[in-house]
Structure 1
Amino acid sequence: MSTTRPDPLEERELASEQLVDGRLLKVWRDRVLLPDGSEGLREYIRHPGAVVVVAVLPDGRLLFERQFRYPLRRAFLELPAGKIDPGEDILACARRELREETGYEAEQWRYIGVMHPCIGYSDERIEIFLATGLRQVGHALDDGEFLELLSLSVEQAEEAIHNGELTDGKSIAALYRCLPLIPAGQG
């Protein structure tokens, strides 16, 4: 018989209160029991989750987007990504986001894993996919969504990271998780 010992660092919820009920984000404040028996407060954001896609063109170049991100008041270079709708399968979400944002569909999909980009203040998870065998079918951007599509070689993407042009955390993490799996280009 297997017994699981509790994590000595676990904090247990004693009470929970929703502070903000936004369209995308929900902000909560919980009263918790700390490992030493004292109590503390934890404020955090609940997020529905998202996907990010490392999409490899037939010539080995990677699809990127340039989008304006309001919280930081500037455009960012990033991989195709988007929010998971309630009840939506993560692969279906990845397929939908790639098609809507870039106009491409992929023949091969590989699930890479999950990342947690903001563990100190959010429960957000981002599911990482590698998409190959791309073919262009035309984009279908959401209303109010504006972006520029560009392609970079793996080397150019790495250079953009090192020179500070690519600072989006999900894109950097997804790219490095996929690097060993990106097929060599044909061009």
Structure 2
Amino acid sequence: MTDSNLVETKVSSQELFLGKFLHAFRDTVALPDGNLASREYVVHPGAVMVIPLLQLESGDIRVVLERQFRYPVGRVMIEFPAGKLDRGEATFLCAQRELLEETGYTALEWSRAGVLHPVIAYSTEFIEVWFARGLKLGDQNLDDGEFLEVFSTTPEQLLEWCRDGNITDGKTLAGAMWLQNFLSGMWPLSWMPGSSPVSS
């Protein structure tokens, strides 16, 4: 298979907006048939999402989640812990930092599951997905102006919320799929030791 009949080529680019977080452009592109078209998109620094596994003394597994108000959609969302990369930051260090800052947990073991592109029609954003286990609870260190609630639930309840529409966040839906396949044994993970991140 070849992509030459699908690829669009940039002809020119115009900056539309430069904010603290997002950078928007409008490009003119040449289509595979030679015609020109306009493409508007947002440049995003990338992010991580963490699927924290909390093992109880009984041996049962719970997952750590968050409730946070998301202004663009005007509602409180249930999500896995996540956050954007700082400039030059490695994704593993970002995952450790975000887990600690948002939930107060550190983890003894980590595994990189993969990557997802949540909004391919209009953003360069990617989200790298990490699992964390061997959790130890410490202190949250939320950013100024950040308000969220941390709680845990069973994988079964998480999947019910996804099915019933109580969870609609795309990255968390994808994370639930990864979790379900990991727990079933279909998608094994390779674990590595964690370290103690420095919260910024």
TM-score with structure 2 setting the length = 0.87
1:157 and 1:181 map into 2 onto residues whose CA distance is: 14
Q: CA deviation at 1:162?
A: 1.0
Q: CA deviation at 1:111?
A: 0.3
Decide whether aligned partners of structure 1 residues 8 and 106 sit closer, same or farther in structure 2, where only a CA change above 3 A counts.
same
Q: CA deviation at 1:86?
A: 0.7
Which letter does structure 1 place at the counterpart of 2:53? V
1:149 and 1:8 map into 2 onto residues whose CA distance is: 47
**Contact residue 112 and residue 178 of structure 1 kept, 8 A:** no
Question: Which residue of 1 is the match for residue 50 of structure 2?
Answer: 53
Match runs of 1:53-132 below 5 Å = 53-59=50-56, 60-132=61-133
| CA offsets 1:37-84 (integer angstroms, 9 cap, x no match) | 111110001111110000000121000000000001111000000001
1:5 and 1:151 map into 2 onto residues whose CA distance is: 46
Question: Which residue of 2 is the match for residue 38 of structure 1?
Answer: 35
Runs of 5+ in structure 1 lacking a partner?
none
Equivalent residue pairs, number: 181
Question: Which residue of 2 is the match for residue 24 of structure 1?
Answer: 21
1:69 and 1:137 map into 2 onto residues whose CA distance is: 25
Matched, 1:158 2:159: yes
Decide whether aligned partners of structure 1 residues 183 and 9 sit closer, same or farther in structure 2, where only a CA change above 3 A counts.
closer
Which letter does structure 1 place at the counterpart of 2:154? S
- For the residue of structure 1 that corresponds to 2:161, the secondary structure is helix
1:111 and 1:91 map into 2 onto residues whose CA distance is: 8
Cα RMSD, aligned residues only: 1.6
Spell out structure 1 runs of 4+ moving beyond 6 A: none
Matched, 1:173 2:174: yes
Which letter does structure 2 place at the counterpart of 1:120? A
Q: CA deviation at 1:179?
A: 2.2
Question: Which residue of 2 is the match for residue 15 of structure 1?
Answer: 12
2:136 and 2:184 map into 1 onto residues whose CA distance is: 16
1:106 and 1:175 map into 2 onto residues whose CA distance is: 19
**Contact residue 56 and residue 182 of structure 1 kept, 8 A:** no
**Contact residue 47 and residue 83 of structure 2 kept, 8 A:** yes
- For the residue of structure 1 that corresponds to 2:54, the secondary structure is coil
2:183 and 2:103 map into 1 onto residues whose CA distance is: 19
**Contact residue 49 and residue 82 of structure 2 kept, 8 A:** yes
| CA offsets 1:127-152 (integer angstroms, 9 cap, x no match) | 00010110101111111110011111
TM-score with structure 1 setting the length = 0.93
**Contact residue 53 and residue 131 of structure 1 kept, 8 A:** yes
1:111 and 1:171 map into 2 onto residues whose CA distance is: 16
2:89 and 2:36 map into 1 onto residues whose CA distance is: 37
**Contact residue 51 and residue 90 of structure 1 kept, 8 A:** yes
Q: Could you tell me the percent identity over the aligned residues?
A: 46
